[in-house]
Amino acid sequence: MYSSLVRLQNTFGFFTTVAFVVALLISASDFLSPRTPTVNVLKTTQLQTVKGRADYYSSKKEEYAIIKFTLDADLSSLFTWNTKQVFAYVTAEWPSAQNNNATNQAVIWDTIITAPSSDHLGNFSPSKLKRLRKSANGKGIDPSRGKLQLKNQRLKYPLTHPTGRLANTEDVQLKLHYNVQPWVGFLSWNQVQDWGKWKALKNGLSKKFTLPAIKVKEQAKKKTTRA
């Protein structure tokens, strides 16, 4: 500590140590707040299987599934002072035909829910940012965030299978997942079982459904009956 430079270096060194310990405490404090995410409704409202191409010029015709679903979930308990964002997504899952253990899984919808402390990072339009700031009201936690209410929501991404066959697939289920991204600490996803104050997601799975067959055109049917 004999010269200013040495004092500067030593003070900064201890500052980084203190910062690390404080970050550790902050991420540990997350375990003290309970997590009780719940899903009230997760069901499909419309199912369709159509034939289509991946893009305009591809020659291979594949089968695509069109699913519209309703989701009513409350993820607001996932937000603490240390939460930066919650990434929620819905996947469609069904067991593989050949291999008994494999599951086909495709994300059909997702969203990023920012916490009030990270609203400025959300790349929102000025009016939306203003609305979010108003609802947060200067506090670190906004209870209205994380409440998902989707009605008849359509797919965000095309749903198909590498084999190109998707019609009549049985035991398809919709499942809600979430990923909590903190300011400091480990990432966490939806749990399989309860861990202390953190409860697993209730009702995260929809009922099993079967994807319908491709619609046969009415004219072709009439021809066969006549003959």
Partner 1 sequence: MAELLEQARDIFEGQIDFEGQKLVENLVNISLSIVGAIAFLVGYFLQDIKLAVYIGLAGTAATFLLTVPPWPIYNKNPVKWLPVAGAAPPTNIVIDEKMLR
CA 87/CA 75 separation, integer angstroms: 10
Instruction: Write the CB contacts of 99 (distance below 8 Å, at least 6 apart in sequence).
Output: none
Going across the sheet that includes 38-53, the strands are: 38-53, 61-74, 147-153
Q: Between 119 and 158, how does the x/- string for binding to partner 1 read (CB under 8 A)?
A: --------------------xxx-----------------
Instruction: Write the CB contacts of 38 (distance below 8 Å, at least 6 apart in sequence).
Output: 73, 74, 201, 202, 203
Instruction: Rule CB under 8 A: say whether 10 interacts with partner 1.
Output: yes
Q: Which of 114, 117, 169, 206: binder of partner 1 (CB under 8 A)?
A: 117
Which tokens sit at 200?
A: 């697993």
Nearest to 208 by CA among 123, 95, 121, 74: 95
Nearer to partner 1, 25 or 213 (CB): 25
- Distance of closest approach, residue 127 Cβ to partner 1, in angstroms: 23
- Distance of closest approach, residue 30 Cβ to partner 1, in angstroms: 11
Instruction: Rule CB under 8 A: say whether 197 interacts with partner 1.
Output: no
Show contacts with partner 1 in window 82-111 (CB under 8 A): 82
DSSP of 91-133: EEEEE-SS-SS-EEEEEEEEEEEE-GGGGGGS---HHHHHHHH
Strand pairing partners for 65? 49, 159
Q: Between 163 and 192, how does the x/- string for binding to partner 1 read (CB under 8 A)?
A: --------------------x---------
State the number of binding residues for partner 1 (CB under 8 A). Answer: 26
Instruction: Rule CB under 8 A: say whether 3 interacts with partner 1.
Output: yes
Which residues here bind partner 1, judged by CB under 8 A? 1-5, 7-8, 10-11, 14-15, 18-19, 21-22, 25-26, 29, 80-82, 117, 139-141, 183
